[in-house]
Amino acid sequence: MRVLVIGSGAREHALLLALARDPQVEALAVAPGNAGTAAIAEQRDIDATNGAEVVALARGFGADLVVIGPELPLVAGVADAVRAAGIPCFGPSREAAQIEGSKQFAKDVMSAAGVRTAVSEIVDNPAKLDSALNRFGPPAGQAAWVVKDDGLAAGKGVVVSADRDVARAHAAALLDDGHPVLLESFLDGPEVSLFCVVDGETVVPLLPAQDFKRVGDGDTGPNTGGMGAYSPLPWLAAETVDAIVEDVVKPVAAEMVRRGTPFTGLLYAGLAITSSGPAVVEFNCRFGDPETQAVLSLLESPLGQLLHAASTGSLDSFGALSWRDGSAVTVVVAAEHYPGRPRTGDVITGASAPGVLHAGTARRDDGAVVSSGGRVLSVVGAGADLSAARADAYAKIAGIKLAGSHFRTDIAKTAAGE
């Protein structure tokens, strides 16, 4: 099988590494990729949100399967273009990708599917902002205001704050930019990311994971695209995962089919485990980053065959997935100033070791690997338990040099009992 992966992050590096372990995968290409993915896949520089360019590349490469990593090409309809060209594609249609592309669409689907989620309200008129904030903040018994960009914002469109001025300023800035704002009730409890391979009503869950969205230790500072993750979750009962699949993901998948927008690809349920049970924080239409780097490092089943089965209507006969024993921890190494405007162009050393996945990296003409984005590397540690996996990840980071870079030191620390 020849597989083309679309995207350029550490998630795509993780996908490529897992695909390369599948004995039926004979060749890999990636577009646009990064300095790390170039070592394991043919690298092509195209506009990944342009369906015609992706189809031309897939045809030229002779792809038997196209796997689309990021949300932007999916929301732009690239999977539709690939399927229309007769090439199996792992990724939802433009319409089904609205489960991530429009928070209001996701709320409508969840409501019709009877799935528990936060109470919410869309505000698109600045004159209505203050009265809406009054209905949602701590005075109404919530621990904090939750203010989201209704559209795509790479994880950075969300502000959760007990300070009304902070919440209001974020909402007002979004409205000034012409973005509708979603106000939500606050869901208290630890968060879980459950990735499910979905084709229509067939749902195959991967191991649950947890990510760390704030930039600083102790969940301080602004939100980011994700600073670390771990899998599996020792504190989450297997029955709870089963309940999430049965009561959340399957009803949503069935509702998507009922609406005539069946979902084929990776349906990512982000949930809070509240005192009254799991409740959905958000759905995404693709693998999560940086959880994928940890989750796929534990997968033993052949990923290429799994994604091909989902893309060709045979997921229901794929069988149960198998996983390595032990735990995995991902720690993101970010460029100076991230999540603000990152410093780029700095030389990175020590980034070719096993378990060091690349995101914002590029190869300079002189051969040096340099930083080219905010989240530069995802370092994946493995071990018999979370403590061992944490120790492995941080030992690998000690071998990496990137001027001005920073990372969290507490990824999976509480879950490891440290």
* Residue 411 CB, nearest approach to ligand GLY (Å): 13
* Residue 100 CB, nearest approach to ligand GLY (Å): 9
Closest CB to ligand GLY among residues 29, 241: 241
Size of the chain in residues: 418
Q: Does 392 bind ligand GLY (CB under 6 A)?
A: no
Q: Does 288 bind ligand GLY (CB under 6 A)?
A: yes
Give bridge partners of residue 284 from the DSSP assignment: 268
Say if CB 7 and CB 68 are below 8 A apart: yes
The stretch among 20-28, 287-295, 298-306, 362-370 that binds ligand GLY (CB under 6 A) is 287-295
* Residue 193 CB, nearest approach to ligand GLY (Å): 6
- Taking CB under 6 A as the criterion, the residue among 211, 255, 346, 392 binding ligand GLY is 211
Say if CB 183 and CB 132 are below 8 A apart: yes
* Pairing of the two strands 27-32 and 42-43: parallel
* Residue 5 CB, nearest approach to ligand GLY (Å): 16
Closest CB to ligand GLY among residues 170, 308: 170
Q: Which two tokens stand for residue 345?
A: 């162009």
Residue ranges in 128-157 that form contacts with ligand GLY under rule CB under 6 A: 155
Residue keyed to tokens 């794929």: 318
* Residue 295 CB, nearest approach to ligand GLY (Å): 11
Closest CB to ligand GLY among residues 55, 192: 192
Distance of CA 208 to the CA centre of its chain: 13
In the complex, residue closest to ligand GLY by CB: 288
The stretch among 103-111, 286-294, 332-340, 392-400 that binds ligand GLY (CB under 6 A) is 286-294
Q: Which of 152, 266, 297 is nearest to 198 (CA)?
A: 266
In whole angstroms, give the CA distance from residue 265 to residue 257. Answer: 13
Q: Does 291 bind ligand GLY (CB under 6 A)?
A: yes
Number of chain residues interacting with ligand GLY (CB under 6 A)? 7
* Residue 284 CB, nearest approach to ligand GLY (Å): 5
In whole angstroms, give the CA distance from residue 228 to residue 216. Answer: 11
Say if CB 253 and CB 338 are below 8 A apart: no
Closest CB to ligand GLY among residues 311, 378: 378
Helix (H), strand (E) counts: the chain: 13, 24
* Residue 74 CB, nearest approach to ligand GLY (Å): 13
* Pairing of the two strands 264-274 and 228-231: unpaired
Q: Which of 193, 363, 183 is nearest to 273 (CA)?
A: 193
**H/E segment holding residue 132:** helix 129-136
The stretch among 39-47, 49-57, 197-205, 285-293 that binds ligand GLY (CB under 6 A) is 285-293
In whole angstroms, give the CA distance from residue 179 to residue 193. Answer: 26
Closest CB to ligand GLY among residues 29, 266: 266
Strand segments, DSSP code E, in 297-373 are: 327-334, 348-349, 356-358, 361-363, 369-371
Q: Which of 200, 272, 201, 261 is nearest to 236 (CA)?
A: 272
The stretch among 16-24, 105-113, 288-296, 328-336 that binds ligand GLY (CB under 6 A) is 288-296
Q: Does 289 bind ligand GLY (CB under 6 A)?
A: yes
* Residue 366 CB, nearest approach to ligand GLY (Å): 33
* Residue 214 CB, nearest approach to ligand GLY (Å): 12
**H/E segment holding residue 172:** helix 164-176
In whole angstroms, give the CA distance from residue 218 to residue 137. Answer: 23
* Residue 179 CB, nearest approach to ligand GLY (Å): 18
Closest CB to ligand GLY among residues 211, 255: 211
Q: Does 284 bind ligand GLY (CB under 6 A)?
A: yes
Q: Binding residues for ligand GLY, per CB under 6 A?
A: 155, 211, 226, 284, 288-289, 291
